């Protein structure tokens, strides 16, 4: 259709092939990522410099690790202790402890048999009046004591062979899970002492050097991931109703290749005064609406900071 229109006489061809009127003036804004560690610590190595390209996963800085290694070792020791306590509760008493109780029970049974023999003999003698009643009472008391001792040791042995109660086991299992979680947390924090690039891109600024302290609020450097930029423009009240997310826009700038395009991703609901960055005699103090658009794959030659014109795509 465009070829047909451009084959018309000169006046008609110029009218048909004219570029769409500029809809708004804006600029290209980079979506920078500040690379900061999760824990404050001294930097022992800072790799790339401003302007260097990095690949996703590349280590760009390293922090002191000694305290994190100590924390991991302590967490692993606590986990091992909790695991041993749980295993002990599940198994009951140790074999050595059970063996001691069994030996005591064997000796008590021997004493009981002897006490029963003495009680039988003394009872027969007492019935014939050979021994006094007091001696018989002493022997019977010794027999009863021996019976009680055997019963007590049998009960202790049964308890030693049983695992711990369910509630005690549940508490020990919970302690072990907490200790294992602490190990994972300590290991993760140790791994975070090596700061990695989250995506392919270019280092745009380096804020800290080797020997300085970096942390969550003290980033080491700034990264501009590949393609992480957007076109920001400001549309007048008369035109904003004709723009919606998903619309395709032409993007023009000085020195840019033709056919630059972007897809609208955001249209503001609130008007604002024209930002100072695009003030001109014609538009200052006008109410405008902010729109944002993501450049297409074919329009990745745009760079943050460029001033652009946008128009409806033909």
The DSSP secondary structure of 201-212, one letter per residue, reads EEEEEE---TTS
Give the three-class secondary structure for 281.
Answer: coil
Domain total for the chain?
3
Query: If you compute the radius of gyration of the chain from its CA atoms, what whole number of angstroms results?
Result: 43
pLDDT for 158-208, tens place per residue? 776 666 567 777 888 899 999 999 999 999 999 999 999 999 999 999 999
pLDDT for 107-137, tens place per residue? 888 888 888 888 888 888 778 777 788 877 8
How far the first Cα of the chain sits from its last, in Å, is 12
Q: Does residue 181 sit in the same domain as residue 87? A: yes
pLDDT for 28-75, tens place per residue? 999 999 999 999 999 999 999 999 999 999 999 999 999 999 999 999
The answer to whether the CB of 208 falls within 8 A of the CB of 46 is yes
Q: Does residue 50 sit in the same domain as residue 76? A: no
Whether 151 is in a domain gets the answer yes
Structure tokens of 258? 């033709």
Whether 146 is in a domain gets the answer yes
pLDDT at 280: 52
Q: Does residue 182 sit in the same domain as residue 160? A: yes
Average pLDDT of the residues in 138-148: 87
Q: Does residue 25 sit in the same domain as residue 45? A: no
Give the three-class secondary structure for 9.
Answer: coil
The kind and range of the H/E element at 30 are strand 24-30
The answer to whether the CB of 248 falls within 8 A of the CB of 261 is yes
- List the alpha helices (DSSP H) in 192-292: 237-240
Q: Which domain holds residue 91?
A: 72-186
Give the three-class secondary structure for 57.
Answer: coil
pLDDT at 19: 57
Could you tell me the pTM of the whole model?
0.63
Sign of CA dihedral 89, 94, 97, 103: positive
């Amino acid at each position: 259709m465009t070829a047909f229109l451009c084959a018309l006489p000169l006046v008609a061809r110029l009218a048909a092939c004219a570029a769409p009127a500029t809809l708004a003036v804006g600029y290209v804004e980079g979506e920078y990522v500040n690379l900061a560690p999760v824990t404050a610590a001294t930097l022992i190595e800072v790799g790339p410099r401003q302007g260097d390209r990095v690949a996703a996963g590349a280590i760009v800085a390293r922090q002191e690790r000694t305290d994190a290694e100590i924390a991991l070792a302590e967490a692993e020791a606590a986990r091992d202790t909790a695991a041993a306590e749980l295993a002990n509760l599940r198994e009951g008493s140790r074999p050595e402890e059970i063996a001691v109780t069994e030996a005591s029970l064997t000796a008590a049974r021997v004493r009981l048999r002897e006490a029963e023999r003495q009680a039988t003999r003394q009872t027969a003698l007492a019935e014939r009046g050979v021994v006094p009643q007091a001696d018989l009472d002493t022997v019977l008391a010794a027999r009863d004591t021996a019976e009680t001792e055997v019963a007590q040791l049998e009960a202790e042995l049964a308890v030693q062979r049983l695992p711990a109660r369910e509630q005690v086991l549940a508490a020990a299992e919970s302690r072990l899970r907490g200790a294992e979680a602490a190990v994972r947390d300590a290991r993760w924090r140790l791994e975070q002492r090596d700061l990695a690039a989250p995506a392919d891109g270019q280092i745009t600024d380096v804020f800290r050097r080797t020997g300085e302290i970096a942390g969550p609020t003290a980033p080491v450097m700034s990264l501009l991931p590949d393609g992480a930029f957007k076109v920001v423009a400001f549309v007048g009240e008369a035109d904003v109703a004709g723009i919606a997310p998903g619309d395709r826009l032409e993007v023009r700038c000085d020195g840019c290749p033709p056919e630059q395009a972007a897809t609208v991703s955001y249209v503001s609901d609130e008007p604002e005064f024209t930002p100072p960055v695009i003030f001109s005699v014609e538009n200052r103090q006008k109410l405008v609406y902010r729109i944002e658009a993501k450049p297409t794959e074919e329009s990745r030659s745009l760079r943050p900071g460029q001033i652009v014109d946008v128009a409806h795509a033909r």
